[in-house]
């Protein structure tokens, strides 16, 4: 059974992949975890899985790109528990693949909303409750793409993640006076359902990705979760405005 400490963690995009691994790890570390997603059936299944392991968890279904829904749901969570100790802005993704010349304004706005606006919406709503939390912190997700501009068709994704890099530092400055720390992780290629399509249709391409990683393998969701768990812990009490690469040296290129 997980030892409940009264701490509350909200993890967006937590019904699968890295998000669920993070929720599970924080739950094992004693947090009550609130999972967010847009697939209610998957959310219910994940909560049941966590409950079976003695983890206190619940699910809130809302779209992180909708500021009204984000604010309403974060307020419900914060008011229910009286505080939020950790916010993990995990939700995000490529969204749309298109070259700049071909990308529509609507597609551009969607990718930016999914990766950057969502961080702003959730953080803004959570701040009043984080102020009531115990050694509270926010964790954001950036990407190697923020540094290298990503591949063809993912330029706006790279742009949005560059924004996450900046908002992480800006939030850290804004919230330091309240003792709220803000850091980011930058996962490399992690073996999750995010890559399921290319893994199934182009296994040779998928297999070749490990050749771009110094450690010669893909990462596991649990390895990202372990770093997030560290960043929200007392062991990282003097870390803020930092980004930790979790990519087996992939950012260096080989």
Catalytic residues, by residue number, are 157
Contact between 207 and 149 (Cβ < 8 Å): no
Give the pLDDT confidence of 54-91 residue by residue, as tens digits: 999 999 999 999 999 999 999 999 999 999 999 999 99
**pLDDT by residue (tens digit) across 162-217?**
999 999 999 999 999 999 999 999 998 898 877 777 778 888 887 888 888 999 99
How far is residue 172's CA from residue 180's CA, in Å, rounded to a whole number?
Answer: 7
Are the C-beta atoms of residues 167 and 146 closer than 8 Å to each other? no
| Cut 0.75: pTM above it | yes
Q: Which two tokens stand for residue 171?
A: 């939030």
Least confident span in 36-40, 190-194, 217-221:
190-194
The answer, yes or no, to whether residue 5 has pLDDT greater than 50, is no
Separation of alpha carbons 180 and 163, rounded Å: 20
Q: Which of 82, 165, 166 is nearest to 130 (CA)?
A: 82
The number of C-alpha atoms within 13 Å of 112 and in the hemisphere containing its C-beta is 10
Using the predicted structure, report yes or no on whether residue 131 has a pLDDT greater than 50: yes
| pLDDT reported for residue 56 | 98
Asked whether the beta carbons of 46 and 21 are under 8 A apart, the reply is no
CATH class for the region spanning 8-249: alpha beta
> What pLDDT, on a 0 to 100 scale, did the predictor assign at position 216?
92
Classify strands 137-141 and 181-187 as parallel, antiparallel or unpaired: parallel
Average pLDDT over all residues of the chain: 94
Kindly state the percentage of the chain with pLDDT values over 90. 83
CA–CA distance, 34 with 85 (Å, rounded to integer): 11
Give domain limits for the chain: 8-249
pLDDT 10s digits, 227-244: 999 999 999 999 999 999
Query: For residue 148, what are its two tokens?
Result: 């290298």
């Amino acid at each position: 059974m997980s030892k409940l400490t009264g701490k509350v963690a909200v993890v967006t995009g937590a019904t699968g992949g890295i998000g669920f691994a993070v929720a599970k790890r924080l739950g094992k570390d004693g947090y009550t975890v609130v999972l967010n997603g847009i697939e209610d059936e998957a959310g219910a299944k994940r909560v049941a899985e966590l409950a079976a392991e003695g983890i206190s968890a619940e699910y809130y279904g809302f779209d992180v790109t909708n500021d009204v829904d984000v604010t309403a749901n974060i307020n419900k969570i914060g008011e229910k528990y009286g505080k939020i100790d950790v916010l993990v802005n995990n939700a995000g993704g490529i969204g749309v693949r298109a070259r700049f010349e071909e990308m529509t304004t609507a597609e551009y706005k969607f990718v930016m909303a999914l990766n950057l606006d969502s961080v702003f919406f959730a953080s803004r709503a959570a701040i009043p409750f984080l102020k009531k939390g115990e050694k509270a912190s926010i964790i954001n997700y950036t990407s190697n793409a923020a540094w290298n501009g990503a591949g063809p068709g993912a330029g706006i994704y790279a742009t949005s993640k560059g924004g996450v890099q900046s908002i992480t530092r800006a939030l850290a400055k804004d919230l330091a006076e309240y003792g709220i720390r803000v850091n980011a992780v930058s996962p490399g290629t992690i073996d999750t359902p995010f890559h399921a399509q290319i893994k199934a249709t182009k296994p040779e391409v998928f297999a070749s990705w490990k050749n771009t990683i110094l450690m010669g393998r893909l990462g596991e969701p649990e390895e990202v979760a372990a770093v997030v768990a560290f960043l929200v812990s007392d062991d990282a009490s003097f870390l803020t405005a930092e980004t930790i690469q979790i990519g087996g040296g992939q950012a260096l290129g080989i």
